[in-house]
Amino acid sequence: MRLPAFLCAALIWSIGPAKAETFLYMAEEVGCMWCAQWNAEIAPIYPKTAEGQTAPLKRYDIHRDATPDVEFARRVHYTPTFILVDAGKEVGRIEGYPGEDFFWGLLSMAFDKANITVGNNE
């Protein structure tokens, strides 16, 4: 059965454009005390925040896991390194964990610089 052209067009239009995936990579390694501190202070709440819903966290161990299939601006040298990714490309980076208060401010600046609206993940 063939659908009339207008029904096909309506179906395609209702699906809408493909949404570019935005997420935050955390590059970590075993024994990293700053990774452990971030895990204790931020990890439990991150997914519940507007930032965490806009850019869900993905992790990778820099020694054990393959480098993610993402276009990074440069190699990761320090852990933790937080890499904001949009549409498969790095758009922001935080090297190290400066503590809870500074982390949120730096992450906010990364979103702003990349023109990503926090909380608008529709």
* pLDDT digits (tens), the chain, 122 positions: 454 543 343 433 333 333 469 999 999 999 999 999 999 999 999 999 999 999 999 999 999 998 888 999 999 999 999 999 999 999 999 999 999 999 999 999 999 999 999 985 54
Distance of CA 36 to the CA centre of its chain: 19
Contact between 107 and 94 under an 8 Å Cβ cutoff? The reply is yes
Report which of 28, 50, 42 is spatially closest to residue 98, judged by C-alpha positions. Answer: 42
Find residue 93's DSSP bridge partners. 83
CA R_g for the chain: 18
